[in-house]
Structure 1
Amino acid sequence: MIHVRDLTKSYADIRRGKFVALAGISFDAHAGQIYGLLGPNGAGKTSALRILSTVLRPTSGSARVNGYDVLTQPSLVRHQIGFVSCNTAVYDRMTAFEMVEYFGKLYGLSKEQLEARMNELFDRLQMHEIRDVLGAKMSTGMKQKVSIARALVHDPPVLIFDEATAGLDVLVARALLKEVAQLRDAGKCVIFSTHIMREAERLCDRIAIMHRGHILAEGSLDELRSTYAENDLEELFFQLISKREEAAESTGKSAATAEARKAGNSP
């Protein structure tokens, strides 16, 4: 379903020069699987997901979604995915029904297809009570339901959740995680980005632990626990990140020392 190879993304930064958001990551995610991207803020998770959803262009490398290339076939890729994040915009002057209907029409669903699909989604997500509520009057939980419904309206084979539970109360977050699990059970390929260990443990079939644009480790929970001789995912995560930070700090000090010596020897 999703094949990523040597994907990089860099930006020009006035103060720091080139900033590397992704440093050549590779991974595969399959149908009927939840693939987790686990990492702290700034790890590169969102950059990777924005490339997969064709919002960003990669600097180099390749990514294919259900057989379509994100660079050369972006419109076809967008029909393969549904995207949900913690800050997906909801239009203030449109009702829940109008918003989901609008996105269904954008995806080219016929009137009959759209009616049947919306009835199914509003039943499944328990949205009938907010059907006529304007976006401006919705709670955070209501908005997230609308975001999920419009991501699912065209029944895509791939779903991307980018920190989707951030800011949600416990009940709404649990309902969202249940929906994600049901999508996996229905055969969808799900990419699930989070920095919450509990979510990754409960949901993900495979996990990539990311830090500063790199994938430090990848595998199922059992594989990661066996490889690193650590049963607690949070402790495993902390150890990997800490080691990488220490290595980066040591490299930085060595480079600074070499630069200072070079400057000292200059005429």
Structure 2
Amino acid sequence: MLRNSFIAFWSCMCGFAFSQDAPQHRLRVLAVGDQPPFKQEVREGVRYEIAPPADMVPPRTLLIPFPLKQGEEKQKQDMQLRLRLGQPSAPLVMPAPETRRVALNSDHSGKWLDIPLSTGDASLAIVWRKGAKWTAANTIILPDGAAARAEGNLHFSNVSAYPVGLEIEKEKIRLNPGMSYTRKLPSDRMTPLQVSYLLADGTHRLCHSAALEPCRGSYRRLVIYSADGNRPRNPVKVLQLEEPSNAPEPAKPAQVAAANMAPATP
């Protein structure tokens, strides 16, 4: 009987160790697009901002079901990501799902997106609205591991409806819709950059021009996207982000749970 008890105990410990050592995946989400028009109203002589309709902005909170193994029943609460237009979300570290896919659900309207994960250990999902409202969205998935976050990296992603032309120093690159491109910025000089969108008649129009300083302790990302509204004056816009290179990883869920269980110190 003692032998059977030891076997049962050892099996439980092995299962616990397996759950602790399960591969982890780091997920961030970046929503791009224009802010809805600012509106306000006057009540008793005081001006108040009117919040935009919920479907005119991306979901403020994403609910992500905790990954389960085949045959497991749902027992854990959904994980959450706070989403803000034009800013990458905080990273969410979770057990890598066997299907390599996760559901992004809206906290107020339910099912929203089902996305694949990159083949590495970290993903960045860039999302933009499909049509006039954020009730449906498109997405592209990019690697977001240590190599992608290396110092001096310059990432381009074209999620607009137009092919774009990149002119980086003397290098010229065509980037079709849905495509991404990465290169390294020189560390000893400024880098001139021009971004143009290409029209059906073969002409191109400049939509972004900059002189990029060397990245010290950081990397950059430029997302080219379509402007909102009917016949906007500038149909293509560019979102430029700069982030610390290889920022420290957040605590894993198991570590957070262990920290929460630690006794308080007097």
Q: Scaled by the length of structure 2, what TM-score is found?
A: 0.30
Report which of the two has the higher share of strand. Answer: 2
Q: Scaled by the length of structure 1, what TM-score is found?
A: 0.30
Q: Which has the higher contact order (CA 8 A, sep 6+)?
A: 1
Report which of the two has the higher share of helix. Answer: 1
Which is higher, the Rg of structure 1 or of structure 2?
2
